[in-house]
């Protein structure tokens, strides 16, 4: 009998390999509504069609992270079905807006790999690109993932660790809005601080906490076609290192992004992700809090009415972030930290 859907193991990957992921996924207004139900994001352009139209969009664009998760999910059967953990991201750029009715597809190139010392797993480095139905690129990003080996004794390729940029240069970022934010719409955003009101070094405790439920993170992974066993299969994960399913790391990112509305209400869009680290696993029942710091400000090279903020958002579990938990004196993370994300957002200058 032939076994189907076994996925690739570490020894199956080699640099230069290209995967075309199927099937494509059409995003609808229903997907957007479900995404809002899962995370409660309140940014004005995704919440209000009329507000989005005031910026020159034909309708509300699909949330950037819903686009990211959908493209990511396309890659799971070939790249991370046998993953132990997704470890990080780099050089992520959102290239074009996506609207309800657009169909997304994805391809992935393997950049390199290296075996772990225990010879039971290894790290695979890949770059994925997402495309709409017209073949236009909407997203590109690199990530690295720890993947199990099929056999400890299996031969593996020579180690190649790609040199990935530490940050996306501001002149590689995009502003999707056609128009500036008109003064009459300032009050509709929900927040008083715009690009010129924010300063490098400024920190925000995003205050609210959100508890992750089993039903929610399972529904989210299904929404994204993310079939990684560590998220889906409670039976197999009873024998795993944690004895239970791990919440998809992107779920934590979306929770932190939704919480960041408190204080960063005018960070309408995610323009790029410079680096990201899932510091510790998240499980159902954990309550996520978050805080952010402004790392850098950059003027758009094409638009004088919009600017880019480089943010660092840190998510913690079961710990409010009024004291901004971070790394400890020895350089290790506070035990509560789940996520450390470095990314660019687009903010109007109005």
Note the pLDDT tens digit of each residue in 325-347. 999 999 999 999 999 999 999 99
Identify the band that residue 349 occupies on the pLDDT scale cut at 50, 70 and 90.
Answer: very high
Residue 348 dihedral angles phi and psi, to the nearest 5°: -70, 155
pLDDT tens across 163-191, in order?
Answer: 999 999 999 999 999 999 999 999 999 99
- Burial of 284 by CB count in 10 Å (0-12 exposed, 13-18 middle, 19+ buried)? middle
Strands (E), 240-305: 269-278, 287-299
* Residue 242, pLDDT above cutoff 70: yes
Identify the band that residue 90 occupies on the pLDDT scale cut at 50, 70 and 90.
Answer: very high
- Residue 234's pLDDT is 87
Identify the band that residue 3 occupies on the pLDDT scale cut at 50, 70 and 90.
Answer: low
Identify the band that residue 193 occupies on the pLDDT scale cut at 50, 70 and 90.
Answer: very high
- Residue 86's pLDDT is 86
**Rounded distance, CA 97 to CA 66, Å?**
12
Residue ranges of the alpha helices (H) in 40-147? Answer: 44-47, 49-54, 64-79
* Residue 350, pLDDT above cutoff 90: no
Average pLDDT over every residue of 248-270: 97
* Residue 98, pLDDT above cutoff 70: yes
- Residue 274's pLDDT is 98
* Residue 315, pLDDT above cutoff 60: yes
pLDDT tens across 13-39, in order?
Answer: 999 999 999 999 999 999 999 999 999
- Residue 4's pLDDT is 63
Give the residue extent of every domain in the chain: 10-348
**Rounded distance, CA 348 to CA 350, Å?**
6
pLDDT tens across 196-237, in order?
Answer: 999 999 999 999 999 999 999 999 999 999 888 888 888 988
pLDDT tens across 66-82, in order?
Answer: 999 999 999 999 999 89
* Residue 1, pLDDT above cutoff 80: no
**Rounded distance, CA 103 to CA 29, Å?**
13
What is the percent of the chain with per-residue pLDDT over 90, rounded to a whole number?
90
Q: What is the pTM of this model?
A: 0.95
State how far the alpha carbon of 231 is from the alpha carbons of 117, 235, 255, in Å.
25, 11, 17
Among the residue ranges 64-73, 135-144, 212-221, 250-259, the one predicted with the least confidence is: 212-221
* Residue 8, pLDDT above cutoff 60: yes
State the average pLDDT for the chain: 95
- Residue 2's pLDDT is 47
Q: Which fold has domain 10-348?
A: Thiol Ester Dehydrase; Chain A (3.10.129)
* Residue 97, pLDDT above cutoff 50: yes
* Residue 152, pLDDT above cutoff 70: yes
211-215 long-range contacts, CB within 8 A, separation 24+: 211/285, 211/286, 211/287, 211/288, 212/247, 212/251, 212/252, 212/255, 212/282, 212/283, 212/284, 212/285, 212/286, 212/287, 212/288, 213/284, 213/285, 214/245, 214/284
């Amino acid at each position: 009998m032939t076994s189907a859907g076994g996925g690739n193991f570490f020894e199956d990957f080699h640099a230069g390999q290209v995967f075309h992921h199927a099937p494509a996924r059409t995003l609808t207004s229903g997907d957007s509504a479900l995404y809002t139900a899962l995370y409660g994001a309140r940014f004005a352009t995704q919440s209000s069609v009329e507000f989005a139209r005031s910026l020159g969009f034909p309708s509300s664009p699909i949330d950037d992270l819903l686009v990211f998760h959908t493209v990511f999910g396309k890659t799971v059967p070939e790249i991370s079905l046998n993953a132990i953990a997704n470890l990080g991201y780099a050089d992520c750029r959102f290239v074009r807006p996506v609207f309800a009715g657009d169909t997304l597809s994805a391809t992935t190139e393997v950049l390199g790999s290296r075996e772990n010392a225990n010879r039971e797993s290894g790290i695979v480095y890949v770059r994925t690109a997402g495309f709409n139905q017209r073949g236009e690129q909407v997203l590109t990003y690199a990530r690295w993932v720890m993947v199990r080996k099929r056999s400890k004794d299996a031969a593996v390729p020579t180690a190649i660790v790609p040199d990935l940029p530490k940050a996306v240069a501001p002149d590689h970022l995009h502003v999707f809005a056609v128009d500036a934010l008109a003064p009459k719409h300032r009050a509709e955003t929900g927040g008083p601080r715009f690009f010129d009101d924010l300063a490098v070094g400024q920190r925000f405790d995003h205050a609210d906490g959100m508890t992750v439920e089993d039903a929610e993170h399972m529904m989210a992974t299904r929404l994204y076609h993310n079939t990684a066993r560590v998220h889906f299969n409670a039976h197999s994960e009873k024998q795993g290192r944690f004895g239970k399913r791990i919440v998809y790391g992107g779920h934590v990112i979306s929770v932190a992004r939704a919480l960041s509305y408190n204080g960063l209400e005018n960070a309408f869009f995610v323009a790029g992700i410079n680096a990201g680290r899932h510091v510790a696993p998240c499980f159902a029942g954990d309550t996520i809090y978050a805080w952010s710091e402004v790392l850098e400000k950059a003027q758009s090279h094409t638009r004088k009415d919009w600017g880019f903020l480089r943010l660092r958002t840190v998510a913690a579990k079961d710990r409010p972030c009024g004291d901004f938990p971070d790394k400890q004196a020895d350089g290790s993370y506070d035990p509560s930290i789940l996520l450390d994300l470095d990314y660019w957002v687009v903010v109007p200058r109005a």
